[in-house]
Amino acid sequence: MSVTTASLSELGRAVIATEERAIHQLHARINDHFVNACHILLRCQGRIVVLGMGKSGHIAKKIAATFASTGTPAFYVHPAEASHGDMGMITAQDVTLAISYSGETPEIINILPLIKRLGVPLIALTGQLSSTLARLATEVIDVSVDCEACPLGLAPTSSTTATLVMGDALAIALLQARGFTADDFARIHPGGTLGRRLLLHIEDLMHTGDTIPKVDPSCQLDEALVEITQKSLGMTTVVNTQGQLLGVFTDGDLRRTLDKGFDIHRTVISQVMTQNSITVSPQLLAAEALKIMQERKITSLVVVEQDHKLLGIVHMHDLLRVGII
């Protein structure tokens, strides 16, 4: 068979078109059965146990992971392993979600009597509404497709895509119903970008103690430059004997000072420092600090207490290091 660039492109587009049709057909399946399934899942006092074999097993794992990451505790159980001890993972407080396009997957059918004996609600995602799984389920959601995208009609393609999309629809419907927020999402995704943006505060990142560049107001400008160089933050704070912030002196201030002809060996820092500089509280979110820096076109923020006592410095590089940027 001759394979050309055009034929490969056409095959790829045909697969996408077939799967698009399968997804479009799901609109009509968001009906009373879908709503009933959502209510069953919302009433669950335990966890959602998702079952599936083969390709459906891979989809089941993804659906379980999506549930868990959006506020609905869930996990995947391999149906074959369930017959060899893993049924102990299912309790009377749980809800089972079984995925089988044929509705006759032996490994799932074999454990249905045990699930029914536990009195656990069973939601089925299947393409065969007259199947054994559908008949024994508490609620059935139709994920049937007209055809698979595989030209042989054998490899699960459209059917697994439709099932995955329906699983997403269930998970997000539950997310909304539970009032799951971005803060909730961040708490269970602390390693992700959103988690860092919503959980990290300035106090978690700021330079403190001896790492803070600071001088007293009577310091000569050349001595202040040594402090700036040693602390490597491109600026220094100016504080009084009580540790309160009086001003800052940055690389930009240095350029302006030199342009005006000041002698760095004879100029006192209090003469050229920037007073009333931008300050933030330690409780400020790191993401909000980034916004301030971008809007003001600055690279550092001074962190102070309510009495203007110096607490620390946060630099743009600190935000970059933790992935806020």
- pLDDT tens for residues 39-68? 999 999 999 999 999 999 999 999 999 999
157 and 105 share one domain: yes
User: In this predicted model, what pLDDT tens digit does every residue of 215-254 receive, in sequence order?
Assistant: 999 999 999 999 999 999 999 999 999 999 999 999 999 9
Q: Report pLDDT digits (tens) over 8-34.
A: 899 999 999 999 999 999 999 999 999
CA–CA gap between residue 234 and residue 280 (Å, rounded): 18
Question: 141: how many CB neighbours lie within 10 A of its CB?
Answer: 26
Quote the pLDDT of residue 154. 76
- Please indicate, yes or no, whether residues 58 and 92 belong to a single structural domain of this protein: yes
Buried b (16+ CB within 10 A) or exposed e, 238-268: bbeeeeebbbbbbeebbeebeeeeeeeeebe
Angle 134-138-139 from CA coordinates, rounded to 5°: 70
Tell me whether residue 84 is exposed, middle or buried, using C-beta atoms within 10 angstroms of its C-beta: 0 to 12, 13 to 18, 19 or more. exposed
pLDDT for the residue 5: 82
User: What count of other Cβ atoms lies within 10 Å of the Cβ of residue 95?
Assistant: 25
**Same domain as 274, residue 158:** no
Question: Given a cut of 90, is residue 262 above it in pLDDT?
Answer: yes
Residue where a domain stops, chosen among 114, 146, 180: 180
Same domain for 165 and 31? Answer: yes
Residue 148 reports pLDDT greater than 70: yes
Residue 1 scores a pLDDT above 60 = no
**Alpha carbon distances (Å) from 263 to 132, 215, 272:** 90, 18, 11
Same domain, 263 and 169: no
pLDDT category at 180 given cuts 50, 70, 90 is: confident
- Looking at 147, 180, 213, the residue that finishes a domain is 180
| CATH at residue 206 | 3.10.580.10
What stretch of H or E contains 68?
Answer: helix 54-69
- Domain co-membership, 22 together with 159: yes
Residues 210 and 88 in one domain: no
Nearest to 174 by CA among 47, 39, 65, 60: 39
Question: In the listed set 146, 180, 214, which residue is the last one of a domain according to the structure?
Answer: 180
Q: What pLDDT, on the 0 to 100 scale, is given for residue 196? A: 67
Does any domain span residue 257? yes
> 112-116, 153-157, 185-189, 227-231: which range is least confident on average?
185-189
Work out the average pLDDT over 190-214: 82
Q: Could you tell me the residue range of the domain that residue 289 belongs to?
A: 202-321
> Within a domain: residue 104?
yes
Say if 295 falls within a structural domain.
Answer: yes
Residue 196 inside a domain? The answer is no
Say whether both 153 and 31 belong to one domain.
yes
Structural domain includes residue 187: no
The pLDDT tens digits for 264-273 are 999 999 999 9
What is the structure's pLDDT at 121?
Answer: 97
| 27 and 69 assigned to the same domain | yes
Beta bridge partners of 201: 285
CATH number of the domain enclosing 43 = 3.40.50.10490
Residue 197 lies in a domain: no
Query: Within this chain, do residues 165 and 282 fall inside the same structural domain, yes or no?
Result: no
CB neighbours of 144 closer than 8 A, spacing ≥ 6? Answer: 101, 126, 127, 128, 129, 159, 162
The pLDDT score that the predictor gives to residue 4 is 83
Q: Report if residue 188 sits inside a domain.
A: no
Q: 29 and 157: one domain?
A: yes
Residue 195 lies in a domain: no
**Same domain for 173 and 225?**
no
User: How many domains is the chain partitioned into structurally?
Assistant: 2
Give the tens place of pLDDT for each residue, 85-141: 999 999 999 999 999 999 999 999 999 999 999 999 999 999 999 999 999 999 999
